[in-house]
Amino acid sequence: MSTTTPPSTPFTPAAAPERTPAPGPGPGGGADPASVGEGRIGLRSNLRHIGALVRRNALQIKADPESMFDVLLMPIIFTLLFVYVFGGSVGQSLGGSREDYVNYVVPGLMAMMGMNISMAVGTGMNDDFRKGVMDRFRTMPIARSSVLIAKIVVEIGRMLVATAILLGMGFLLGMEIKTSVAELFGAVGLSVAFGASLMWVFILLGLTMKTAQAVQGVAMLVLMPLQFGSSIFAPPTTMPGWLQTFTDYNPLSNLADAARNMINGGPVAHSVWMTLAWAAGITLVTAPLAVGKFRKKS
Partner 1 sequence: MGHMTRIDKKPDGGRTGHAVEVRGLVKQYGGPQGTRALDGVDLDVREGTVLGVLGPNGAGKTTLVRILSTLVQPDAGTARVAGYDVLRQPRQLRRVIGLTGQYASVDEKLSGRENLYMIGRLLDLSRKESRRRADELLERFSLTEAARKPAAQYSGGMRRRLDLAASMIGRPAVLYLDEPTTGLDPRTRNEVWDEVRSMVAEGATVLLTTQYMEEAEQLASELTVIDRGRIIAGGGVDELKAKVGGRTLQIRPTDPADLPAMARAVTETGLDGLSGAQAVPEEGLLYVPILSDEQLTAVIGLLGERGLSIAHIGTHLPSLDEVFLAITGQKTASVSDTAPEEIAA
Q: Is 26 in the site for partner 1 (CB under 8 A)?
A: no
Q: Is 21 in the site for partner 1 (CB under 8 A)?
A: yes
SS3 97: coil
- Residue 148: Cβ-neighbour burial (10 angstroms; 0-12, 13-18, 19+): buried
Q: Tell me whether residue 19 or residue 210 sits nearer to partner 1 (CB atom).
A: 19
Q: Is 3 in the site for partner 1 (CB under 8 A)?
A: yes
Q: Which stretch binds partner 1 (CB under 8 A): 20-28, 159-167, 171-179, 265-273?
A: 20-28
Rounded distance, CA 51 to CA 217, Å?
Answer: 32
- Quote the distance between the C-alpha of residue 180 and its chain's center: 26
Q: Which residues lie across from 15 on neighbouring strands?
A: 12
CB of 14 to partner 1, least distance (A): 12
SS3 content of the chain, % helix, strand, coil (to 5): 75, 0, 25
Site string for partner 1, 35-74 (x = CB under 8 A): x--xxxx---x--xx-xxx-xx--xx--xx----------
Rounded distance, CA 9 to CA 23, Å?
Answer: 8
Q: Tell me whether residue 130 or residue 178 sits nearer to partner 1 (CB atom).
A: 130
Q: Is 298 in the site for partner 1 (CB under 8 A)?
A: yes
SS3 15: strand
CB of 160 to partner 1, least distance (A): 22
- Residue 9: Cβ-neighbour burial (10 angstroms; 0-12, 13-18, 19+): exposed
DSSP assignment letter at 178: S
Q: Is 153 in the site for partner 1 (CB under 8 A)?
A: no
Which residues contribute to the site for partner 1 (CB under 8 A)? 1-4, 6-9, 11, 13, 16, 19, 21-22, 24, 32, 34-35, 38-41, 45, 48-49, 51-53, 55-56, 59-60, 63-64, 131-142, 298
